[in-house]
Amino acid sequence: MRKASFLLLSLIVTAAFAGAQVGEASSGPEPNLTNAVAGSALTCSPPRHTFVVPDRLVPKARLKAKLLMLLRDSLYDDTRGVVNIEREKVIKKLANKLRNERDDY
């Protein structure tokens, strides 16, 4: 039984290693190993998206973008148990402003 378990384990490890080798070859650019060895932080720049917004909607789009960023930051803080009262007040103010602008149309 131990021989079968050891054989199965070695087969799984070999398959995983072979899969990692194949995945590395097709992944694209090579990682910067000097940063990893030197101890500096490895960073990945997110793709930049550009949205074209008509001029009449720019103020509302900026308001929504700012509110979205604040809500995302607040969500991350909530997961860590941090409460930022000032940011919550700004979120409430922006949400009310957005709601009032919607009523104007």
Q: Which residues contact 73 (CB under 8 A, 6 or more apart)?
A: 87
Whether residue 23 has pLDDT greater than 50: no
Residue 36 has pLDDT above 60, yes or no: no
Contact by Cβ (8 Å): 27, 33: no
The mean pLDDT value of the chain amounts to 74
Judge contact between 42 and 35, C-beta under 8 A.
Answer: yes
29 DSSP assignment: S
So what's the pLDDT on residue 93? 94
* pTM attached to this predicted model: 0.48
Strands of 1-105 (E only): list them. none
Type of residue numbered 30: E
Phi then psi for residue 8, to 5 deg, are -65, -45
| Max intra-chain CA distance, the chain | 76
Structure confidence by residue, pLDDT tens digits, 45-86: 778 888 788 898 888 888 999 999 999 999 888 888 888 899
Report domain extents, the chain.
2-34+49-104
74 C-beta neighbours (distance < 10 Å), count: 16
CB 70: neighbour CB atoms within 10 A? 17
